[in-house]
Amino acid sequence: MTTKTNKVHVQSTINGESVDFLCEPRQSLLECLRDIIGLTGTKEGCNDGNCGACTVNMDGRIVTSCLVLGVEAEGASIETIEGVANGSNLHPIQLAFLEGAALQCGICTPGFIIATKALLEQNPDPTEHEIRFWLANNLCRCTGYDKIVRSVQDAAKRLREK
């Protein structure tokens, strides 16, 4: 038994595949991804846009998916952490994070990887300050950011040398 709601049909492209889903107008994109579509790699840390754990790429821009409504995903192209690796080949950013020990508990990692990917797509050789500035919307409480920043530098190098 559920409350009657006016669910909305939304069609979008998620990680390169066309996806249809029904959502309530009040549901955030984060909720839709996690609870309706079943992509739980995107995490909720605060639900008010301040921690960055729910960062996804929407039409080429990174957004905190808790501040986007599911209905706004109509016609949009969305990339989540599940779409970063190419099949069983990890993305250079993922490899750099692994080898650089850039994660401890790992809950913020999907958001950091999505944000890093967007940074390196537009700035392949960022300075330390540019990395820190770009990632300032993603909170990590475990690492003190040192190994994250170094892994982003390493990932940038790997991508430039590719």
Partner 1 sequence: MTTTDYERNVVLSTNSDFKVIGTRPVRHDGVDKVTGRAIYGADYVASGLLHGKILRSPHAHARIISIDTSKAEALNGVRAVVTSADFPRVENKTVELGEDETKLLDLRGNVLANDKVLYVGHAVAAVAASNPHVAEEALSLIDVKYEVLKSVMTTDEAMAEGAIILHENQTTEELGTDSGIVSNVAKHFQHVKGNIEQGFKDADIIVEREYNTKTVHQGYIEPHNGTALWSADGRLHIWCSTQGSFVVRDSLSDLLDIPVSKIRVTPTEIGGGFGGKIPIYVEPVAALLSKKTGTPVKIVMTRKETFEGSGPTPGSKIKIKVGAKLDGKITAAHAWMAMEAGAYAGSPVGAAAQCVFATYDLDNALIDGLDVVVNKPKTAAYRAPGSPNAAFGMEQALNELAEKIGMDPIDFRLKNVASEGTRRPDGPVFQRIGAKEVLEAMRDHPHYQSSKANGIGRGIAIGFWFNIGFDSACNIALNKDGTVNLIEGSTDIGGSRTSIAMQAAEVLGIAAEDVRPSIVDTDTVGFTAVTGGSRTTFATGWAAYEAAQDVKAQCIERAANIWDVKSSSLQMEDGIISSMSDSELKMTLKELAEQMSSTGGGITGRAAINPRGVGGSFCGNIADVSIDEETGKISVERFTCVQDAGKAIHPSYVEGQMQGGSVQGIGWALNEEYFMSNEGKMNNSSLLDYRMPTALDLPMIDTVIVEVANPGHPFGVRGVGEANIVPPTPTIANAVYDLTGNRMTELPMTPGSVLAANNK
Instruction: Give the nearer residue to partner 1 in terms of CB position, either 75 or 128.
Output: 128
Nearest approach in angstroms of CB 94 to partner 1 is 4
* Full 3-state SS string of the chain: CCCCCCCEEEEEEECCEEEEEEECCCCEHHHHHHHHCCCCCCCCCCCCCCCCCCEEEECCEEEEHHHCEHHHHCCCEEECHHHCCECCECCHHHHHHHHCCCCCCCCCHHHHHHHHHHHHHHCCCCCHHHHHHHHHHCCCCCCCCHHHHHHHHHHHHHHHCC
Instruction: Give the nearer residue to partner 1 in terms of CB position, either 22 or 46.
Output: 46
Q: Which stretch, 6-14, 70-78, 98-106, 118-126, contacts partner 1 (CB under 8 A)?
A: 98-106
Q: Which stretch, 57-65, 70-78, 119-127, 148-156, contacts partner 1 (CB under 8 A)?
A: 148-156
* Residue 73 within binding range of partner 1, rule CB under 8 A: no
Nearest approach in angstroms of CB 73 to partner 1 is 18
